[in-house]
Amino acid sequence: MNANQTVPLRVQDAVARLFFETLFMKVGDRVRVKESVVVYNNPTHRNQAFDIQGMEGEIMALANEWHGKPISANYPLLVRFDNKFKVHLRENELELV
């Protein structure tokens, strides 16, 4: 893509929305899973498919640094739903509550 070409507005809006949600999501924020996400590590449904869509939790950590060096994790947000259930998720799977 050269400097004279532009990205369609739809793509720019989606990227901007993801950027600002990530920018404003921080440790301690309450979030809700807005997309269908199937996990297999739920303690009450061990080794069974469990959809966490609609569940609310708290951001416990951001995976953006490792030993002082910046990283780009595929699932950068660690969300705790209860004391025993934590999941790494992407920004686009969550919304602030």
Please name each of the domains of the chain with its CATH number: 9-96 (2.30.30.50)
Where on the phi/psi map is residue 49: left (φ > 0), alpha (ψ -120 to 50), or beta? beta
Q: List, as own/partner pairs, every contact residues 63-70 make where C-beta atoms lie below 8 angstroms and the sequence separation is at least 24, other chains included.
A: 63/88
For the chain, 97 residues long, give each residue's pLDDT as a single digit of tens: 555 555 555 656 666 655 655 567 889 999 999 999 999 999 999 899 999 999 999 999 988 888 888 888 899 999 999 989 999 999 899 999 9
Query: Is the whole model's pTM more than 0.85, yes or no?
Result: no
The model's pLDDT over 68-91, given as tens digits with 9 standing for 90+, comes to 888 888 999 999 999 899 999 998
Contact 14, 66 (CB under 8 A): no
d(CA 48, CA 46): 5
What is the rounded distance in angstroms from the CA atom of residue 67 to the CA atom of residue 8?
Answer: 38
